[in-house]
Each structure stands twice: as structure tokens, then as C-alpha cells.
Amino acid sequence: METAKKSLAIIFAIVTALLLVHISIANATENDLNLPPIPVRIEVFDGVESYFLTKLMDIPEGYDVTNGTYLGWCIDTRAEMTRSPETHSVYLYSSFNPPGELANEEWDMVNYILNHKRGNATDIQQAIWYFINIDGNYTPTSQVAWDIINDALENGEGFVPSYGEIVAIICYPTVLLPYPSEVQISIIEVNNPVIPEFSSASILLLIMSTTLLIAIFYKKHKVGLNTLRIGTRNPFYFRNNV
């Protein structure tokens, strides 16, 4: 019985490992958020937990963001965003699929920072500016910000937020006025709502692997049970096998 339990545990571990490997691949290649393709409006307030509090407006139903308030951060030190009651027209882009001029920025580092916060809002904002600063050459003044940066440099390369973790969504102005501008490019924090999908081939492979393991387990223990039955019917079996 103990052997059977161990075998079942091994089968469960193998199947779980296969599932986790596939989820990891899906997260790295298939994740993206369903965002409105049309301009929406934002209204920003000075934040305490973040640089901004960003209120989204004009969001149609059926998308992975809704009308409401999100934690927001600045990624553009060239401009100063006019605060509420002023509103700004922006397009929303996932940091998994950023627009042209932002495509080569270090979004893996930013997403890592947003999911591994330490310090206060100023420390976090300075660390974000270090990795994504359109004007370039930003130098943090906070030691905690440098600690955040070094942690991201050590652990954040290639980081992709999993289901339920924070994803940076880019609020890109529909019109960028000449410098100095009254509209900054900013980001908001959104919990990743994407559950990784399984391809048909992966599901088939998983089912086949599980079936094979169960068949091997069943065959092995069936042989053991048959041997036990033969032994109980043969009075000399146990005597001869002691």
C-alpha cells in the first residue's frame, strides 16, 4: 500500500511539472490584455502610494480595464501632467506590446519592480525612471531606489507577470505637445486577468503522458496483487519464500 501511495505521488508530481512548464511558456508568449483600441480619458491626482492616482473614463464594456481609479506612475520627465479637474485623451497599451518608441524599453524591469515593491512611492518612482526615462540619463537620489534597481538588475531580466500579478499599462497621449508638454506618458497598475491558454497539442501530450503513467502504475500493481493471490492459495508459497 505504501509503495502504491509513493507511485501515485510520483505520477502527480510529473503531471504537475508538465502543467507548470506549459503555463510558464504560455505566460511568456501568449499573454496580452484586451484593451480598448479607441482613445479614452484619464484624470490624474497626486498619489501617496504611487506618483499618480489615475482615473480611467470612457472605457467601453468587455475589456480588461474598467472605469475607475488605478495606481499610476510617470515614465516621462520631460513634461508635467496637469492634475484634476483637467482630463487627457490617451490610448492604452499593454507593456507586453508597447507602441513604437517605447518598444525597446526595459518593461521586464518595470513589471518586476511593481510586483516587488519596497520603500515609498518616491523610491519606486525613481527606480522606474532609471529603467524607462524617455529623456534619458536619469540618476536616482534615493538609496532605497538604488536597492530596488539593483534587485531588479539581479532578478528582473525577462520577468513576465503571471495571472493575478501587476502589469504596467501605458497611457499614451493622443497628442504630444511640443516640449514642454502638459501631458506626460504614464503607466497604471492592472492585475493581469489573463489565464494562460493551452494549445491542443499540449493538452493531447499531457493526456497521453498521464494515461501512460497510470497504465504503468496499474500494470505494476496488478502483477503484485496477482502474485499475492497465488501465494494465498498455495500453502507452500510463504514457507518457500521466507
- pLDDT tens-digit series, residues 74-119: 999 888 899 999 999 999 999 999 998 899 999 999 999 999 999 9
* Cell numbers at 111, concatenated: 513589471
pTM: 0.70
User: Could you tell me if 80 and 184 are in contact, meaning their C-beta atoms sit under 8 angstroms apart?
Assistant: yes
Reported as a single tens digit per residue, the pLDDT across 31-80 is 589 999 999 999 999 999 999 999 999 999 999 999 999 999 999 988 88
**What residues contact 108, with CB distance under 8 A and at least 6 apart?**
156, 157, 158, 159, 160
Burial per residue of 156-165, b for 16 or more beta-carbon CB atoms within 10 angstroms, e otherwise: beebbbbeee
Q: Please give the pLDDT value at position 27.
A: 42
77/222: higher pLDDT: 77
